[in-house]
Amino acid sequence: MNYSDSSVILQAKDVIKQYRQYDDVVTAVNRATFEVYDGEFVAVIGASGSGKSTLLHICAGLDRPNSGSITVRGNELTSMGADELSQFRGNYLGMIFQNHNLIPQFTAMENILVPTLMCNKPDTSYEEHLKKLVSTLKIADRLHHLPSELSGGQQQRVAIARALINRPQVVFADEPTGNLDRANADEVLELLLETKRVMNQTLIMVTHDMSIAERADRILVMEDGRLSPYRKSK
Amino acid sequence: MGYRKPYYNEDHKLVRYGVKDFFSDAVSSVISFFSPKKIKHAFIGVLKGFRTFSAFFIALLLLQSAFWLIWLRQDSFSSETKKEAYSGSGCNLIVEGIEQEAWTELYNRYFVFAEERTPSERGYTEYSVEHYYTASADSLYRMRFWLIDDSIEYSRGFRMRYGLDREEFSFSYGERTGYLGKIEAGNKKAGLTSFFLGVLAAAVVSLLFYIMTNRNKFMYGIYISFGGGFHTLMETAGWEMFAVALLTFAPAAALACGIYAAFCTASGAEFVFNAARVPAALLWVLAVVLVAVVPGVYALTSQTPVRLLSAGDNSNYVSSPRRSFRIFGKSFPFHYEFFGFVRFRRYYIMLISSAVVFTTLFSCGLFLADMRSTDENADRPSFILSTGSDVLDPDDIDAFDDIPGVAYTMFGESVYATEKRSFLLLNKRQAAGISSKTVKDKKTGLIADNNCRYSLLTPRLAEEAEKGLWAIDGNLGSVAESVDTVAVSCSINNLNVMDFRPGDTVRIALFESAGSPISFEKPDRKYQLSTLLSGAYFDYIDVRIGAVVDDGDTGDTYAVYMSPELFSRVTGRSGDVKEVSVFLLPSVKTAEVAGIREKIVKIMSGYDGYSIVDTDAVTDRRLSAKNSAAPPVLCVSFMILALCPAVWFLAQADFVSKRDREIYMLTAFGATEGDLRRLFWFSGGLLTLSASVMTATLGSLLNYLVYYTVNVFLPSLGMGSSVRYSYSFSLWGFVLCVAVTAAGAMLSTLVPFEKFIRERKKLTDVGAAVSDK
C-alpha cells in the first residue's frame, strides 16, 4: 500500500540522543530524520544496541532527545511541558513495551484500565471498546488474574489491550514479540495488525525479527544510531 | 464538570490555555480533585495498603497529636488564667485621681441613672468607689469597675461612655482584663510553635513521600507513560495522603486528649477541649500534606517515563563486574557490601541525616523542656518599687519584709562602667573568656574591659543574699563593709565567661580627664574603650576580690559589687537605695496579691513620684505549676524521636526489597543463607556504627548550637528568657538518641531481610510439597 499521498502523522527531524557513560559520550540516536504516514505500519530493525528502542521511546514522548524535534499530527512533542506531554501520550499515543511492563500488584483488568484512569475517561466511554478488545485479544477469562498468574503471551496481550484502550492514533511497539515463541509471536502480530486495521491506526514497531518486519509497509534500518534511508515496498 | 485539559481542535492541533481560561481551569480542577470516586478510591487504597502506608499513618498520627498537645495546653492555660484572674477581687478597670467635684458630677450624670438598668444595659455588673489621700494630702477618689466584657476595647469604650477618659484621671486595667493579654501572648506562642511543627511535619511527610514514590517509581512510570500528569497524580497521590491524614485525625486528637488529660489530673489543671480547634487542626494537617506532596509529585512528573521505568534495582551485584566476579573470594561479603555502602552513599547519607535531625530535635526538646522548667520555677519579684528621686528609708524596707506573704526584698543600684567612662584592668586569665571584647592597655600590659557594671552592696543586701539567694564563694559580708574589696559575678548572657577567683586583685580605672574632647561615634563598647585608652587619663583603685557570686542575673555585663563607700567613690553616686524588688512566698495565691499590694502602696505613698510595677509573678507561677509547658514539650520530643524508626523502616524496607534480584542471583551462584545473613548483619552493623557516630557527634554539636542560640545569642539581642540557664547535657537523652538510632539502623536492615528469607522459605516449602505430591 502506498501511503505517500496520505498526511504525515509523525515527523522526526535531526533527532540526537546521547548518553554519558563515565568519561565517554555514547550517541544512541544520531540525526534521525524520517516521516510516518497516517495508517502506515513502519518496522524499525537493527542489531541490539543500535538505538532502536531509544528512538522509539523518543518518538513516543517517553524520553527527551538532546536535540531535534518530534512532531505528531502537527504537535511538537519536544516543546511540550511534562504535564502536557503526558496528556498527549494518554490521548493520542499507545505504547507496547518489550517486557510487558505490567504493574505486578494490579490485575489484568486494572492494568488495562490504567490509561483510562490517567486520562479521566468516564466508564461509559470505554466499556464497549474494552469488551471488544479483550474478546479480540482472547483474555476475557484472565481479567481478574495478576500478571504473575499469566503466561508470557497473555501478559503481552494485556499490555496490547492497555496500549489500545484509549484508541490511540499511533501505536508504538518495542519488540512486542521478543519474549514469545513463534506461534505466540505470530498470533500477537496478527492481533496488532487486525486492531490497526479496524481502528485505522498507525503502527511503529521495533523488531529484530525479519519475518515480522517484512509484513510492514516500510522498514527503517538502525545502525550505530543512524537511521538508513531505506524503504521497502511490499 | 470535569477537569479541563488542553484540547485538540479539528486539525489535531493542541489548543493550550489562555489567561481567560485560568479561572474555569482552576474551578474545574478543584471540582475534579474533590470527585467522590477519587476520594473513595484513595480511602480504600490506603486502608487496603495499610502496611505500605504504615509510616505515614504513624508520622501523621504523632505529628497531629503534637499539634493537639500544643493547643490543649494553651486552652487549658487560657481557662486557668481566666480562673486565676476571677479568683480574687480583681476588677476590669481602675480609674484614679478623681477629685470630689469630678466624682459628684460623674455620679449625678451617669451612675445614678445606671443603677436602675440591668448590667447588660449599663455595661458593668458592679463598681466600687474608694476615698484616698496622696502623700501631699490631696483627697481623691478611686473607682473600680467589674465590666460585662473583659476586652481592652470594651474598657476603652466604657471609659468614653461614662466620661472617664479625662486627662486628669489615671487609669489601669485590672486582673480581669489583664489576663486576656496573657492568653493572647500564649495564643501567639502556640501559633508560632504550630507553624514550626507544620514545617517539620511537611518535611517529614515529604521525606516519606519521596521514599514511597522512589519505591514505586516503576508504577508511576507506567502511569505517566499512559497519560498521568501532575494533576492526575496529585488527584491520586494527594488524596491518598489526605486520606491518611483524615483517618489519623480523630485518633491523634484522642491520643493527645488522653495524654493531656493525664497531665491535668496530675497538676490539678482543668482539661479543656475547644471544639473550635477541630477545623484549625484539619486545615493545618491538610496544609501540611499539600505542602509535602506537591513538590514530590511535581518532581516525579518532571522526569521522563523511561527514567522512572528503568530505576527499579538496588543490586550491589551490578556495581562492578570486576567485583561481581570475585564475590565468592575472601572479600565476600564484607568488601562486597562495603562497596555497596559507598555506591549508595547518597541514600545512606540521607538516611543518617534523617536520624541526626530527629535525634537532635529530640534532644533539643529535652533541653527546651528543662530550660522551660527552670524558667517557670525561677524566683521572680512580684513588685518592683521605685521612689523616683527620694531615698528609701531603711525602716520602710523592713516594713516591706514584715508584710505577711512577702518572702524577702532585694534592692540595689547599678551603674554601667561605660556610663562613667571607666573600666577594669584584668589579667589574661580573668579576661580570657571575653578576649574579643577587650583591649590591651599598653601602659600596664593588663587587659582593659568595660563589659561590667558597678553595683551597690549594702550590709543588708549581703545578709539577704547570704540566705541562699546567691551562690557565694568567699565572704560577701566583709565586702559590704570594705573600701578595697569587691564581689564579682562571672556571667554574661548566660555564659560563664569570667575567670575570677577569691583573692584575685583587679584595678578599677576611673576617668579623670582627656587631653582633647572625646566623642564616641559608635555605641560599641570596645571602640569606646580603645578611644579612652588612647586619649584619656585615669585614676586607679586596686581592689581585692572578696567573693565570687552567682547572683542569678544574665545581663550583657557582669557585676562588680562594692560597699556604699566604694560605690560612691567609683560612681559618684550616694549609694542610697531608691529601688526595691519584693519577692512573695510560693504559697501566696493570686487573690491575696491585691491585699499585699495595698499594704505596699500605703508605705510607698509617702514618696513623691513613686511607682509600683506589678510583674504578675504569683499568677505566672501558679499557672506554670498547673499548665507547665515542659511536659508537652517533652512529649512532643518523644513523638519526634519515634518518627525516626518509622522513616528508617519505610526506607530500608524499600531498599532491601529492591535487592531481591541480587539475593536470588547470589543464591544462584551458591551463596548460602548464612552468607546472606552475614552480608546483612555486616550491612546493618556498618549502618549502625555510622549512624550512631554521626548522631552522637553532630547531634551534640547541633544541640549546643541550639543552646547557644536560645540561651546566649537571643538574650544578647534582648529576646528570650533572662533566667540563668547553663548548658547541661542530658546523658540519658544522649544514650536514648544513640540507642534509638542504633536499633533503628540494625533492625530496619535485618527485619526486611528476615521477612524476605521467610517468604523465600515459604515458596520453597510449597515447591517441595508440590514435588512430593
Question: Helix, strand, coil % (nearest 5) of chain B?
Answer: 60, 15, 25
pLDDT of B25 strictly over 70:
no
Who has greater pLDDT, B128 or B727? B128
ipTM rounded to 2 decimals: 0.91
pLDDT one-digit tens code per residue, B133-147:
765 667 888 898 999
For residues B225 and B305, give the distance between their C-alpha atoms in angstroms, rounded to a whole number.
6
Q: How many residues does chain A have?
A: 234
Phi, psi of A11 (to 5 degrees): -130, 120
Residue A109's pLDDT band, with cuts at 50, 70 and 90, is: very high
What's chain B's Rg over C-alpha atoms? 35
Kindly identify which residue of chain A lies nearest to residue B299, measuring between CA atoms.
Answer: A82
C-alpha cell at B184: 493572647
CA distance B773 to chain A (A): 21
Q: pLDDT at position A19, please?
A: 84
pLDDT at B601: 82
- Residue A87 and residue B16: Cβ atoms within 8 Å? no
Summarised one tens digit per residue, pLDDT across range A7-27 is: 889 999 999 999 877 678 888
Q: Does the structure show a pLDDT above 70 at B532?
A: yes
Over residues A134-141, mean pLDDT: 87
Shortest distance between the Cα of A78 and any Cα of chain B, in A, equals 12
What is the arithmetic mean of pLDDT over B617-633? Answer: 85
Q: Which residues of A make CB contacts under 8 Å with B? A: 57, 62-64, 73-75, 80, 82-84, 86-92, 95, 97, 101, 103, 105, 114-115, 117-120, 162, 166
Contacts B231 to A, Cβ<8 Å: 83
More confident residue, A90 or B215: A90
Give the mean pLDDT of chain B: 84
- State phi, psi for B411 to the nearest 5 degrees: -150, 165
Q: What pLDDT, on the 0 to 100 scale, is given for residue A228?
A: 79
Residue of B nearest to A56 (CA): B306
Shortest distance between the Cα of A230 and any Cα of chain B, in A, equals 28
Res. B723 pLDDT band, cuts 50 70 90: low
pLDDT tens track for B396-455: 888 888 899 988 888 878 889 988 889 999 999 999 988 888 999 888 889 999 999 999
Q: Is the predicted pLDDT of residue B93 greater than 80, yes or no?
A: yes
C-alpha to C-alpha distance for A161 and B417, rounded to whole angstroms: 88
Question: Looking at the predicted structure, is the pLDDT value of residue B4 above 50?
Answer: no
pLDDT, one tens digit per residue, over B353-390 is 888 888 888 988 888 888 888 878 877 888 888 887 77
Q: How confident is the model at residue A170 (pLDDT cuts 50, 70, 90)?
A: very high
| Residue whose C-alpha cell is 491575696 | B592
Alpha carbon distance B231, B254 (integer Å): 34
- Closest partner CB to A118 (pick from B226, B302, B303): B226
Binary contact (A166, B226; C-beta < 8 A) = yes
Amino acid, single-letter form, for residue B306: V
Most A CBs within 10 A among B225, B232, B319, hence the mutation to make, goes to B225
Contact present, B261 and B254 (Cβ < 8 Å): no
Q: What is the pLDDT of residue A75?
A: 86
Interacting residues of B237 by C-beta distance below 8 A, sequence separation 6+: B209, B213, B293, B296, B297
Smallest Cα distance from A31 to chain B, Å: 20
Mean pLDDT of B586-603: 84
Which chain B residue lies closest to A99 (C-alpha atoms)?
B309
Mean pLDDT of chain A: 86
Write down the residue that cell numbers 543500535 correspond to: A50
Chain A residues closer than 8 Å to B307 by CB: 63
Q: Which cell numbers hold the place of B698?
A: 553532630
Binned at pLDDT 50, 70 and 90, residue B222 comes out as very high
Partner-chain contact A101 B222, CB within 8 Å = yes
Nearest to A115 among B226, B303, B306 (CB): B226
What are the tens digits of pLDDT across the range B248-303?
999 999 999 999 999 999 988 999 999 999 999 999 999 999 999 999 888 888 88
CB-CB under 8 Å, A63 with B305: yes
pLDDT given for residue A234 in this prediction: 42
- Angstroms from B298 CA to nearest CA on chain A: 9
CB contact under 8 A, A86 and B14: no
Residue B28 has pLDDT above 70, yes or no: no
Residue B619 above 90 pLDDT?
A: no
Check residue B665 and give its pLDDT: 76
Chain B residues lying within 8 Å of A89, measured CB to CB = 225-227
Mean pLDDT value across residues B713-739: 77
Give the pLDDT confidence score for residue A128 in this predicted structure.
Answer: 85
Higher pLDDT, B53 or B722: B53
For residues A155-184, give the mean pLDDT: 88
Does the beta-carbon distance from B228 to A91 stay under 8 Å?
A: no
In the prediction, which pLDDT does B6 show? Answer: 53
Percent pLDDT > 70 in chain B is 89
- What's the pLDDT at B14? 55
In terms of CA atoms, which chain B residue is nearest residue A54?
B306
- Alpha helix stretches (DSSP H) within B709-730: 714-716
* Range B575-582 average pLDDT: 81
Q: Least CB-CB distance to A62: which of B228, B231, B304?
A: B304
When pLDDT is cut at 50, 70 and 90, the band that residue B508 belongs to is very high
Residue of A73, A30, A116 whose CA lies nearest to B227: A116
pLDDT in tens, B313-354: 555 554 444 444 455 555 667 777 777 777 778 788 888 888
Residue B482 has pLDDT above 70, yes or no: yes
Which strand (E) or helix (H) includes residue B634?
A: helix B630-657
In this predicted structure, what is the pLDDT of residue B318?
47
> Which residues in B lie closer than 8 A to residue A95 (C-beta atoms)?
225-226
For B214, what's the count of Cα atoms within 13 Å in the CB-facing half-sphere? 18
Sign for the pseudo-dihedral over CA of B583, B589, B590, B593: negative
Q: What is the reported pLDDT for B258?
A: 96
